[in-house]
Each structure stands twice: as structure tokens, then as C-alpha cells.
Structure 1
Amino acid sequence: MLSKNLTKYLHSLQLKKYRQEHNAFLVEGAKSVLELLAADFQIELVAVTEQFYKENTSLLDKQPFRIEIAAADELSRAGTLQTNDAALAVVKTKDNEFLYAAPGEYVLVLDDIRDPGNLGTIIRIADWYGITKIICSLTTTDWYNPKVIAASKGSFTRVKGYYTELADYFEQVTGVTNAPPHPSRLQIATSVYGTFLEGKNIHKTAFADTGYIVMGNESNGISSAVEAFITQKITIPRFGGAESLNVGIAAAVVLDNWRRG
């Protein structure tokens, strides 16, 4: 049974200010928690139903964290999922560490993605296509929002995120200005692709070996400050009457064409 204090603590982690205060976030559901247990996150505690514990005793008993047995309705009330008959974990957030495109690698860049569901979906899509690093603008929704974690379906354990001012970041990694390079950078990668309505047909785009792919805000696209660093504008050609694509779907189409290129 979950205590009142623990339930209150779990509720607080649904809000960004308390996640930042405690440097912790929630992971909910059987699949996500099981993937978490195999990852390199520091786990504070796991609350599980008796059934989930019995099914995963050998795995759970090897762990150093605190384990709480709870009823399914307690897990649902303490977390954000309407139904949770398995598990809920409290996990320590990771440091906001600088990420860049190493030789032969592509990095996804998100400019002001506000919807948590979209961010979680993009993390999952990135994982599918082998993207392990995502750079986020400071206005992009919180990586550790419960809706982001849920929508990522466990992919948050394999994809890293870094939040920064994008214009400053691109100055560092492209060498466009005289800004000093970040000490962690191994190579200047100048190929920066961005999605625009008037860009080059992505079906005819040849991607460089190393680079960045920028996806813009759901309504306003890529900001002018970031547009200044785009070296190749690309577009997904429209053949029907739809006005636009969801940014998650657009990210999938772009990454699929990048992989085929």
C-alpha cells in the first residue's frame, strides 16, 4: 500500500517545477518500466502490483532500489495513466550534457516542439531509425514530462536529449561565427537540413555522411534564428489536399528518406 506522503510525492512529479526540484521523473506501465530496468538510469523506487512482482521477481530482487507493493488502482491514482496494473517507477533525471554529430552520425534537432505527445512520438521514431541524440530548443516541452515518457514507449532509455539555445548551439557546431568550439566537439559538421514548405523535394535529396536534421514548431515551423544555419531546405511533397502533416509523422517521413538515401 502506498503511503499518503509517497502518493503526494508521486503526484508532484507530474509538474515540471517539482521534477526539477527533486531531479526525478515518473515512468509508468509494464513495458516502459521493464526497459528502464535494463537501462543506465538511477532508479529511486519502483511501485509494483503483486502480479507484476511475481512475474519479475528474479529481475527486481537484484536491484538496489526500494520496492513498494501496491494495488492497481493505487498506481493509477498516483500516476498519469488511466489504468496501470503493473508498475510505476521514480527515476533520477540525467544531466543536460552537450551532444553533437560525430563523424558518420546524424542528430535530430527540435525547434520549439510544444506538444508532449509529439515529442514522445519523435523520440520513439528516432529510436526506430537509429538516431540516438536529439537537440531541443529551450522552448521545447520537457523531456521528462510523463506524457513524453509514455509516448516514447521506452525509447527514452536509448535516445539522449540536450536542451540549449539553438542559435548558439549551431554557432558552435557549424563554425559559422567565431564562437569558440565546445571542448567535446570532434568535428565540424556543416550539413544542416531543415523542413520547409518551399524546400527541395526530399525524395530527390542526397544526404551527406554527417549532419543535423531540424524539425520546426507544429504551427510556425522553423524559427528565423535557426533558419540562418540551414544549409539545405527540404520538403515532403504533397499529392493530396491535406493542409499539413503532424510533426511526428513528418519526422518519420524525413528519417525514412534519410535512411534510404
Structure 2
Amino acid sequence: MLSKNRIKYINSLKIKKYRQLHQSFIVEGGKSVLELLSSDFDIEFVLATEEFQQKYSSILSRHSTRPETVTIAELESAGSFQTNDSCLAVAKTKQNEFLSLQDSEYVLILDDVRDPGNLGSIIRVADWYGINKIICSTDSTDFYNPKVVAASKGSFTRVRTFYTDLKTYLSDHGEGQSIVGAFLGGDSIYDFQFSPKGGFIVMGNESNGIGQEVESFVTDKLMIPRFGEAESLNVGIATAVMLDNMRRQLSAKL
């Protein structure tokens, strides 16, 4: 049976200041916890139902962290999911370490992306297209927000982030690089040739797009042409379109 202190601790990690204080975060759901167990994250504890433990006994037995048996009701009272019939884990956050652009590599830059679901989707999309580095503005939503972790569907274990002042980062590391930005009034992405040398792809805030400070560093402003009547694209979907075009072009040149 879960103690009140354990439930209180887990619930505190839903709030950013307590995640930062304890340097820990929550992972919920079977797929995400299994991905976590296969990663290099340091795990504090795992709570799992008997059914989940029986189903994945071979995987769980290979990990040094032994799961504590809990009921579905206890999982749902402690976590943020409305329904959770499998497991929940708490792991240690990683240090905010600098990420650089390597030769022939594309790195995502997110300027003030605020919605946790959007960030989680972008992490998942980045993982799908082989992008494992994301540079985030300091006011972008927290990578370890439970909604971000849930929406990433396990991709948070493979995609690294670095939160920093984007103006300073691009001033120091953007010179001579291809810096592609998504804009409503840019050139068509279908006419643009992505550089095989790599570069940065910048996506902006859900409502206001890329800010003026970051815009000044963008070398190529691109738009995704609209053929219907929708007013705009979700930033997660727009990121997928940008990365898909980038990968298709570069694959065709191989």
C-alpha cells in the first residue's frame, strides 16, 4: 500500500519548482516506463500492478530497480492519468548540458513553445525523423512536465534538450550555418533545398511564431503552402512537415 508521503512526493513532481527541487520527474503508462527502463536515466522507483509485472516479468527482472506492487486505484490517485492500469515510475532529471551542431546534422530550435502537448509531440516527431537534439528557449515549457513526457510516447529517452537564451546561443554558434525558420509569409518549403551540410530548423510560439530576436538569425524563411481553408497548423504538425521535407530531400540526394 502506498504511503501518504509517497503519494505526496509523486504529486509534488507535477509542479515544476518541485521537480527542480528534487531533480526528479514522473513517467506514467506501460510503454513510457518500459522505454525508461531501457534508457540511461537513473530510476528512483517503479510502481506497477501485478498484471503488468507478470506480463513483462522478463524485462523487469533484467533491471536493478524492482517494482513495488500497487493497485490501479493507487496508481490513478498518485499520477496525472485519469486511467492507468499498468505502472508509474519516478526518475532523476538530467543536467541541462550544452548541445552543439555537428557536421551534416540538423538540430531543432524551439522559440517559446508553451504547450506541453505540443512539446511532447515535437519530441516524438523529432525522434521519428532521426533528430536527437532540441535547443529550447528558456521560456519554453519544461521537458520534464508530465504532459510532455506522456505525449512523447517514450521518445523523451532518446531526444536531448538544452534550454538556453537563443539569442546568445545563435550569436555564438549560428554564424555560417543554415538556419531555417517557419513563417507564414516565407518562401514555399517545396521550392527550398535543404543543405546536406546540416543546420538548424527553428519553430516558433503557437500564437506569435518566431520572435524578432531569433528571426534576425534566420537565413531562410519558409512557409508550408495552404491549399484549404484552415487558418493555421499546430506547431507539432508543422514541425513534422518541415522534417519530412528535409528528410525526403536529403534521402533523394544519397
- Shorter chain as denominator, the TM-score bin is over 0.9
Among 180, 188, 199, the alignment partner of 1:201 is 188
Contact 1:134 1:161 in 2 (8 A): yes
- C-alpha offsets along residues 205-255 of structure 1, whole Å, 9 cap, x if unaligned? 101121000000000000000001000000001111111111011001111
Partner of 2:233: helix, strand, or coil?
coil
TM normalised by structure 2 equals 0.95
- Structure 1 position 116 matched with structure 2 position 116: yes
Contact 1:108 1:131 in 2 (8 A): yes
- Equivalence for 2:141: 141
Shift of residue 100, structure 1, vs aligned partner: 1.8
- Equivalence for 1:242: 230
**Partner Cα distance (2:66, 2:3) in 1:** 14
Partner of 1:156: helix, strand, or coil?
helix
Contact 1:193 1:212 in 2 (8 A): yes
Aligned ranges for residues 9-24 of structure 1 at < 5 Å? 9-24=9-24
Shift of residue 166, structure 1, vs aligned partner: 0.3
- Structure 1 stretch 106-115 or stretch 240-249: which is displaced more? 240-249
- Equivalence for 1:58: 58
Shift of residue 61, structure 1, vs aligned partner: 2.9
Match for 2:6: what amino acid? L
Contact 1:107 1:135 in 2 (8 A): yes
Aligned ranges for residues 1-261 of structure 1 at < 5 Å? 1-65=1-65, 67-175=67-175, 190-209=177-196, 210-261=198-249
Following TM superposition, where does structure 1 have runs of at least 4 consecutive aligned residues deviating by more than 6 angstroms?
A: none
Contact 1:124 1:155 in 2 (8 A): yes
Shift of residue 56, structure 1, vs aligned partner: 2.0
- Structure 1 stretch 236-245 or stretch 86-95: which is displaced more? 236-245
- Equivalence for 2:252: none
**Partner Cα distance (2:32, 2:105) in 1:** 27
Contact 2:60 2:66 in 1 (8 A): no
Partner of 1:5: helix, strand, or coil?
helix
Over the aligned positions, Cα root-mean-square deviation in angstroms equals 1.0
Match for 1:98: what amino acid? F
**Structure 2 alignment gaps of length 5 or more:** 250-254
Identity among equivalent pairs (%): 60
Contact 2:187 2:223 in 1 (8 A): yes
Shift of residue 64, structure 1, vs aligned partner: 2.6
**Structure 1 alignment gaps of length 5 or more:** 176-188
- C-alpha offsets along residues 56-80 of structure 1, whole Å, 9 cap, x if unaligned? 2232233233531100111011000
Q: How many residues align?
A: 248
**Partner Cα distance (2:66, 2:44) in 1:** 7
- C-alpha offsets along residues 126-161 of structure 1, whole Å, 9 cap, x if unaligned? 011110000100010000000000000000011001
**Partner Cα distance (1:72, 1:154) in 2:** 21
Contact 1:44 1:66 in 2 (8 A): no
**Partner Cα distance (1:252, 1:174) in 2:** 23
TM normalised by structure 1 equals 0.93
Match for 1:110: what amino acid? L
